[in-house]
Amino acid sequence: STWGLKSVPTLPRLLRALFVIATLASICALVRGSSSARHRIRDPLRSPAMDSSAQPILFLTHGAGPMAFVSEADGGLPGVCKGSKTAQFLERLPSTALLASRPKAILVVSAHFEKSRPTVYRAEANDMLFDYGGFPRHTYELDFRPPGAPAVADRVLELLAAAGIDAGVERKRGLDHGAFIPLLLMYPDASIPVLELSVLSSLSPQEHVAMGRALAPLAAEGVLLIGSGSATHGRSNKKQAREFLDWLKGVIADDSLSPAEREERLVEWQRLAPHARLNHPREEHLLPLHVVAAAAGFCQGAVIQDDLIDVMGMALGFGSYAWTPTAQ
Q: Which tens digits make up the pLDDT trace of 186-217?
A: 999 999 999 999 999 999 999 999 999 999 99
DSSP one-letter code for 53: S
Q: pLDDT tens across 285-314, in order? A: 999 999 999 999 999 999 999 999 887 778
Confidence class for position 184, pLDDT limits 50, 70, 90: very high
Q: pLDDT tens across 215-253, in order? A: 999 999 999 999 999 999 988 999 999 999 999 999 999
If we measure between CA atoms, which residue out of 200, 201, 222 comes closest to residue 212? 200
> Is the confidence at residue 324, as pLDDT, over 60?
yes
CA end-to-end span of the chain: 24
The pair phi, psi for residue 219, each rounded to 5°, is -60, -40
**What was the pLDDT predicted at 312?**
73
Q: How far apart are CA 112 and CA 131, in angstroms?
A: 8
Q: What contacts 64, CB < 8 A, 6 or more positions away?
A: 77, 80, 311, 316
**What was the pLDDT predicted at 31?**
31
If we measure between CA atoms, which residue out of 163, 133, 135, 21 comes closest to residue 70? 135
Residues 110, 288: contact at Cβ < 8 Å? yes
**What was the pLDDT predicted at 262?**
98
**What was the pLDDT predicted at 45?**
63
**What was the pLDDT predicted at 313?**
75
Average pLDDT value over all residues in the chain: 86
**What was the pLDDT predicted at 47?**
56
Residues 110, 195: contact at Cβ < 8 Å? no
Q: pLDDT tens across 31-57, in order? A: 333 333 344 444 666 655 445 689 999
Q: pLDDT tens across 87-144, in order? A: 999 999 999 999 999 999 999 999 999 999 999 999 999 999 999 999 999 999 999 9
From edge to edge, which strands make up the β-sheet containing 314-323? Answer: 168-170, 119-121, 194-200, 105-115, 223-229, 57-61, 314-323, 302-311
Residue 237: CB atoms within 10 Å: 13
- Among the ranges 20-24, 35-39, 322-326, which has the highest mean pLDDT value? 322-326
**What type of residue is 115?**
K
**What was the pLDDT predicted at 235?**
87
Strand partners, 207: none
**What was the pLDDT predicted at 137?**
95
* CB environment 108-139: b (16+ within 10 A), e (fewer): bbbbbbbbeebbbbbbeebebbbbbeebeeeb
**What was the pLDDT predicted at 310?**
84
**What was the pLDDT predicted at 325?**
75
**What type of residue is 71?**
S
**What was the pLDDT predicted at 20?**
32
**What was the pLDDT predicted at 28?**
34
Q: How far apart are CA 64 and CA 155, in angstroms?
A: 32
Assign 24 to helix, strand or coil.
helix
